[in-house]
Structure 1
Amino acid sequence: MSAASDPATPPEGPLHVAIIMDGNGRWAAARGLPRAVGHREGVQALKRTIEAAPKLGVGCLTVFGFSTENWSRSADEVSDLMGLVRSYVASDLKRLEKAGVRLRVLGRREGLPRDIAEIADRAETQTGHNSKFLLQVAFNYGGRADIVDAARAHVDAVLAGTATGPLDEATLGAGLATAGGPPVDMIVRTSGEQRLSNFLLWEAAYAELIYQDILWPDYGPEGLADAVAQFRDRDRRFGGRPAPALAAG
Structure 2
Amino acid sequence: MPRNKLIILGAGALILIILSILLFVMDSEEQVIQTEDIDNTEASETSPETDETAGADPASGSDSSIDIEGSEEDLMENVEADTEEEYRESTREALEEFTPDENDSFSREAFEDHALLFTLYQQETEESVVEEGESASAAEYVAIEMNGWKNFAEENYDFTYDQSEFMQFAEEEQSQALDQDAEVRIFIDELEQEDPELSRQQLEFQFALSYIWHSIQDEAAEEYDVNPQSTTEWNQLYFEIEQRVFNYISEENPEFIEGESN
Mark yes or no: TM-score above 0.5. no
Q: Which has the larger radius of gyration?
A: 2
TM interval, short-chain normalised: under 0.3
Q: Name whichever structure is richer in helix by fraction.
A: 2
Q: What is the TM-score when the length of structure 2 is the normalising length?
A: 0.25
Q: What is the TM-score when the length of structure 1 is the normalising length?
A: 0.26
Q: Name whichever structure is richer in strand by fraction.
A: 1
